[in-house]
Amino acid sequence: MSSAITNAGEALIALHQNQETALVIDTFIVANVTGVDPAGPVDRAEGLPDPGDIVYQYTIPAENKGYINPNQVVYSMLLGSDIGDFEFNWLGLYSSADDTVVAITYCPSLSKWKTAHPAMGNAITRNFMLEYTGLQATTQITVEASTWQIDFTARLKGIDERERLSNRDLYGRACFFDSGFLVVNDAGAFKVQPGTGYVEGIRIDQGAVQAISPGALPATVYLDVALQAQGSDRVAVAAVAFADPGDYTDATNDTHYGQPIAAIDAGGVVTDLRPTRAMGTGILAGVAGVDHTHDGYALEGHTHPTIETDYIDASALLPTEDGGAASGVIATATHGQRYGYRALPGDTDASVEITYPMPEAWDRGPIKLRAVWTPGEGAAAGEDMTLVAQAVAVGDGESMDAAYAVAGVTIADQAQAVGAAHVSPASAGLTVEGEPALGDLIHLRIMRDVDAGATPMAADCQLMGIWIQYTCNQAVTGW
């Protein structure tokens, strides 16, 4: 069966679009034309058949016109059992207002007969879809096509194929779960075990044990898998074969896929040829036992490793009693930005501190630090600026007068230019003393070491803040 918009129809559509007027297609012309080849192309120069060939004219009611999308419209003809008798092999969509055959279909010869008691007549429905840019607007059809007006066969096959290809991407050529479709030798009787698998993206199920007879040994056992019509549906069919079926298309245009599942030697020993995966792992093969969680979040009862970074501004840093650090503000000359800082002088080991609550998911391991600072007046490029960081945990009921028993880690940097922001390299991992536990406060101290480095900087270190980084992998439990 072939269809086409006629040359006259194409010109008529263009004319109505140019004039912004409605194209009204109101009639099916039904004819029986000698010499029509339903497999051949439509003669687009063709017009109305000879009057003697026209066997019926069907006026298209408004409810039998619908649009599929802005470029596709469909017209439907319903011939009831009260119409007949005639044969036809030619259908035309006709605009009576323009006296033009807009489109033609050649079809195999069909018989239409009406009821003549006691003989029952037949009913025939024909849908004619036209496709042309902007055709919905040109025909001024505003009602969406009803499902009965559209042949969904191609569309449903397309959905099946997209699903098959998606499964193929996930499971490969073949994949069987656990013992699904496993061939076993049960005291000389060969059987296929129940279960589930995929072959070329088609999901197949074996509901019960299936006895098979491979015949003369040795033999190879194959599955012949296809999606085949069953009533109004298409279902997966898997048939056992003992010769390689390969991949082929059958007489009903269904594609079959051959897959070996077992080899049986002359002694009856079965070698499993199935690619297998444990049921329930899906595409996450090989990660059984892994605690699956959501990156970046600590969920109750779950753990996950993630690196967290926090920033402590200078405004949160307190000077220590034995080595104070004056607060100050830098105001830029041109644009007036203001940056707060704590001044750690170059002639004394001044220090600042903060009590910091680490998150519950913190792994209680070492933390790393980077200093954000700028050199004070008089600093020269290349001079060394060194800080020392120490940390101790203080928990519920524990003395807040906790000692720093470990020397700590250094944060070492060099001056670049006065008025420039400096971000130091990361320190080594700082071990928090005092056996930190859930809910502990971490007391962090940052001290200026004025003697460290080959060329210690004599100018102030104007400390604007501290970056800290740590690992989280502990379970978080709701309060």
CATH superfamily of 306-472: Galactose-binding domain-like (2.60.120.260)
**What is the reported pLDDT for 306?**
84
List residues bridging with 471 in a β-sheet: 307
Query: What's the pLDDT score for residue 85?
Result: 93
**Tokens, residue 253:** 């245009």
Domain ranges of the chain: 2-151, 157-277, 306-472
Instruction: Determine if the peptide bond prior to 108 is cis (ω within 30°).
Output: no
pTM equals 0.41
Residue 251 pLDDT: 82
Rounded (10°) CA dihedral 12, 18, 22, 26: 10
pLDDT at 322: 64
3-state secondary structure 169-226: HHHCCEEEECCCCCEEEECCEEEECCEEEEECCEEEEECCCEEECCCCCCEEEEEEEE
* pLDDT score for 287: 42
Tokens 């071990």 label which residue? 431
Q: Cα–Cα distances in Å, from 147 out to 66, 93, 302, 403, 408?
A: 10, 21, 49, 80, 76
User: From first to last of its 479 residues, what are the pLDDT tens digits of the chain?
Assistant: 899 999 999 999 999 999 999 999 999 999 999 999 999 999 999 999 999 999 999 999 998 999 989 999 999 999 988 898 999 999 999 999 999 999 999 999 999 999 887 888 898 999 999 999 999 999 999 988 876 666 666 677 888 999 999 999 999 999 999 999 999 999 999 999 999 999 999 999 999 999 999 999 999 999 999 998 776 578 999 999 999 999 999 887 889 999 999 999 999 999 999 998 876 555 544 444 444 444 444 444 445 578 899 999 999 999 887 666 889 999 999 999 999 999 999 988 889 999 988 888 888 899 999 999 999 999 999 999 999 999 999 988 888 888 886 678 999 999 999 999 999 999 999 999 988 888 888 999 999 999 999 999 999 999 999 999 999 887 777 77
Which backbone phi and psi does 127 adopt, to 5 degrees? Answer: -110, 135
The secondary structure of 423-453 as a DSSP string is EPPPPPPBPPBS---TT-EEEEEEEE-TT-S
CA-based max dimension of the chain? 120
E strand or H helix at 373: strand 368-375
Residue indicated by tokens 């070996």: 260
Q: Is the peptide bond before 233 cis (omega within 30 degrees of 0)?
A: no
Q: How many residues does the chain have?
A: 479
Reference 70, options 135, 151, 153, 160; nearest CA is 135
Q: Which residues of 233-255 are buried (b: 16+ CB within 10 A; e: fewer)?
A: ebebbbebbeeebeeeeeeeeee
Q: Which residues contact 335 (CB under 8 A, 6 or more apart)?
A: none
Q: Which long-range contacts (CB under 8 A, 24 or more apart) does 283-290 make?
A: 283/170, 283/171
**Residue 286: per-residue pLDDT:** 44
